[in-house]
Each structure stands twice: as structure tokens, then as C-alpha cells.
């Protein structure tokens, strides 16, 4: 049975436009009809399984179901992946992604290469994914995988850091939640895949953290 998905929105002003953040770890840019996400890490689960680590086979399926929900909801013209679309060697998950992607042939997929995107050009071409080597400048924003690699001025959107927040609950319990880290000029995307860790050590003086659950947003 497919996992039930509930979509919540949180709108922010950034770089002179309204961005629609979602609790599905992606963001929609209405002005350019672009869906933006980062760190899908396709192939990671299979890579770990090959090394004897028991990772569920449902990871990629859940991630693609989530992405499919976003596509049907926003009807984007293009999908911008801000790095680490893939994870390791060419494995079975790449073919699964290729088969799934066939239903969205009208959508342009753009990848700004991340530190894990090491495939040969022929593989990206076969998947019909446009690859940008370092950064993409569009809509007055620089899209780059790692904020540390952004050497220019102005607005940037990046991934790589997998931002999260640590929330203190009752009885000394602590809950980690993924978040968007939003600053005056820089926005860091949460990791899209469910099979990633969370970095809860980002500078709170530079960013406000828009954390989310399966149904809502919370600002920290």
C-alpha cells in the first residue's frame, strides 16, 4: 500500500519573489514554474545494501511517490535539483528512476552537480537530465550545491548540509525535524530523501529555521 502523503505549504519572500516551501522537502517557484529540491541520493540504499547494511527497499519508492505528489500538485515546467541527485555507482535504482521518469517526459530536469554526482555524461544523457557543472544563475538567484562554493554576491539557494532542528519535548525527549534554513540572501534546502541525516548545528544568527512535520510548519 502506498504511503499516504499530506502536503502543507509555507510562503516566504526571497530574492524579490514568493517561494512556496513544502513539508515534502521541496520548494516551488511560481514565477518560473520550477520545482526545486536537493539531495535525493538515488542509489544510496542499494549501495548500502551491497555493503551488508540492511536498508529497506522502499526508500526510493517513497521518495519518488513524494516527488510525484509534488509534480501533480504544482504542475512544474522544470525540476531543479541542487546537487546529489545520485549517490554512488550505477545500480538498480538508476533504472528504477529512469522507468519512473518516463511519465514526465515533458518536464525539464536540471541537475547542478553535487559531490556525489560522479556518473559519466552518457548516463545523464540517457536519463534526459541536463547537467550544470558548478552553478546555475536564474531569476536573480545562484543555485549551487554547497553554500561554501558560492563565491559571488547576492542570493543563493543550496543543499548539501541537510539542515534540521532539535526540538525539546516533554520528559527530556528531543525530536529532530528537517527544515529550510532561510537567511536574508541564502536559502539552504532540506535533504529530499528520507534516507539522510540531519545537521542541527547551523548558525541560528544567520538563518531562521522553518521546520516541518508530516502536516505542518514551525518557525525557530
In which band, very low, low, confident or very high, does the pLDDT at 50 lie, cut at 50, 70 and 90?
A: low
Residue 156 has what pLDDT? 98
Of 84, 81, 90, 77, which Cα lies nearest the Cα of 122?
90
Task: Tell whether the model's pLDDT for residue 16 goes beyond 90.
Answer: yes
In which band, very low, low, confident or very high, does the pLDDT at 1 lie, cut at 50, 70 and 90?
A: very low
The answer as to whether 201 is a domain residue is yes
The answer as to whether 4 is a domain residue is no
Task: Tell whether the model's pLDDT for residue 14 goes beyond 90.
Answer: yes
- Determine contact, residues 56/93, Cβ cutoff 8 Å: no
Residue 47 has what pLDDT? 47
The answer as to whether 86 is a domain residue is yes
pLDDT digits (tens, 9 = 90+) for 98-157: 999 999 999 999 999 998 787 768 889 999 999 999 999 998 999 999 999 998 899 999
Domain that holds residue 62: 9-219
Q: What is the CATH number of the domain that holds 40?
A: 3.60.21
Residue 127 has what pLDDT? 94
List residues bridging with 111 in a β-sheet: 81, 131
The answer as to whether 16 is a domain residue is yes
Of 79, 33, 102, which Cα lies nearest the Cα of 189?
79
> pTM here?
0.91
The answer as to whether 199 is a domain residue is yes
For residue 90, give the C-alpha cell. 550505477
pLDDT digits (tens, 9 = 90+) for 190-207: 999 987 889 999 998 999
The answer as to whether 3 is a domain residue is no
- Helix, strand or coil, per DSSP, at residue 135: strand
Q: Residues in the chain, how many?
A: 220
The answer as to whether 118 is a domain residue is yes
The answer as to whether 120 is a domain residue is yes
Using CB atoms within 10 A of its CB, is residue 45 exposed (0-12), middle (13-18) or buried (19+)? buried
Alpha-carbon distances, residue 141 vs 61, 89, 130, 150 (angstroms):
31, 31, 18, 11
In which band, very low, low, confident or very high, does the pLDDT at 89 lie, cut at 50, 70 and 90?
A: low
* Number of domains comprising the chain: 1
Average pLDDT along the chain: 90
Residue pointed to by grid coordinates 532540506: 190
- Helix, strand or coil, per DSSP, at residue 200: coil
Using CB atoms within 10 A of its CB, is residue 96 exposed (0-12), middle (13-18) or buried (19+)? middle
List residues bridging with 175 in a β-sheet: 167
Amino acid at each position: 500500500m502506498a504511503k499516504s502523503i499530506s502536503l502543507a505549504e509555507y510562503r516566504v519572500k526571497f530574492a524579490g519573489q514568493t517561494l512556496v516551501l513544502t513539508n515534502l522537502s521541496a520548494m516551488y517557484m511560481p514565477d518560473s514554474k520550477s520545482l526545486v529540491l536537493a539531495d535525493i541520493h538515488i542509489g544510496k540504499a542499494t549501495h548500502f545494501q551491497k555493503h551488508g547494511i540492511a536498508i529497506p527497499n522502499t526508500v526510493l519508492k517513497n521518495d519518488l511517490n513524494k516527488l510525484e505528489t509534488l509534480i501533480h500538485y504544482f504542475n512544474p515546467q522544470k525540476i531543479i535539483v541542487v546537487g546529489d541527485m545520485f549517490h554512488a555507482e550505477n545500480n538498480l535504482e538508476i533504472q528504477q528512476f529512469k522507468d519512473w521518469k518516463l511519465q514526465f517526459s515533458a518536464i525539464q530536469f536540471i541537475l547542478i552537480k553535487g559531490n556525489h554526482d560522479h556518473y559519466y555524461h552518457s548516463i545523464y544523457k540517457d536519463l534526459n537530465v541536463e547537467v550544470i557543472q558548478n552553478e546555475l544563475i536564474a531569476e536573480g538567484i545562484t543555485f549551487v550545491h554547497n553554500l561554501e562554493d558560492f563565491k559571488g554576491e547576492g542570493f543563493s539557494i543550496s543543499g548539501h548540509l541537510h539542515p534540521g532542528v532539535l526540538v525539546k519535548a516533554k520528559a527530556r525527549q528531543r525530536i529532530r525535524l528537517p527544515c529550510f534554513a532561510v537567511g536574508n540572501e541564502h536559502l539552504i534546502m532540506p535533504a529530499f530523501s528520507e534516507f539522510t541525516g540531519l545537521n542541527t548545528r547551523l548558525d541560528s544568527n544567520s538563518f531562521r529555521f522553518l521546520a516541518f512535520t508530516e502536516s505542518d510548519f514551525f518557525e525557530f
